[in-house]
Amino acid sequence: MSCRQHHCIPQHSSKFLQLLLTLVFLVYINMCAYHDQKNHPLYKPYSNAIIAKEPTSLEEEIKEIRRSGSNRDLDSAPEFEMSDIFYFARRGVESIMDDEVTKRFSAEELESWNLLTRSNNNFHYISLRLTVLWGLGLLIRYGFLLPLRVTLAFTGVGLLVVLTSVVGLLPNGRIKNFLSEKVHLMCYRICVRALTAIITYHDSENKPKNGGICVANHTSPIDVIILASDGCYAMVGQIHGGLIGVIQRSMVKACPHVWFERSEVKDRHLVAKRLSDHIEDKTKLPILIFPEGTCINNTSVMMFKKGSFEIGATVYPVAIKYDPRFGDAFWNSSKFGMVNYLLRMMSSWAIVCSVWYLPPMSREEGEDAVQFANRVKAAIARQGGLVDLLWDGGLKRGKVKDTFKEEQQKLYSKMLGASD
Q: Say which residues have a Cβ less than 8 Å from residue 49's Cβ, sequence separation at least 6.
A: 98
Rounded to 5 degrees, φ, ψ at 83 are: -65, -20
The SS3 of residue 237 is strand
Helix intervals (H) in 70-125: 84-97
Residues contacting residue 170 through CB under 8 Å, at least 6 positions apart: 176, 179
Q: Given this model, what pLDDT does residue 3 score? A: 63
Kindly report, residue by residue over 391-401, the tens digit of the pLDDT: 776 666 666 66
Q: Which of 254-268, 290-304, 330-344 has the highest mean pLDDT?
A: 290-304
Which of the 8 DSSP states describes residue 335? Answer: T
Note the pLDDT of residue 36: 39
Instruction: Name the 3-class secondary structure at 345.
Output: helix
Section 255-281 average pLDDT = 78
**Which of the four pLDDT bands, split at 50, 70 and 90, describes residue 210?**
confident
Q: pTM, whole model, 2 decimals?
A: 0.73
Rounded CA gap, 385 and 362, in Å? 23
Structural domain boundaries of the chain?
3-12+121-405
- pLDDT, greater one: 11 or 347: 347
pLDDT for 376 beyond 90: yes
Residues 8 and 185: beta-carbon distance below 8 Å: no
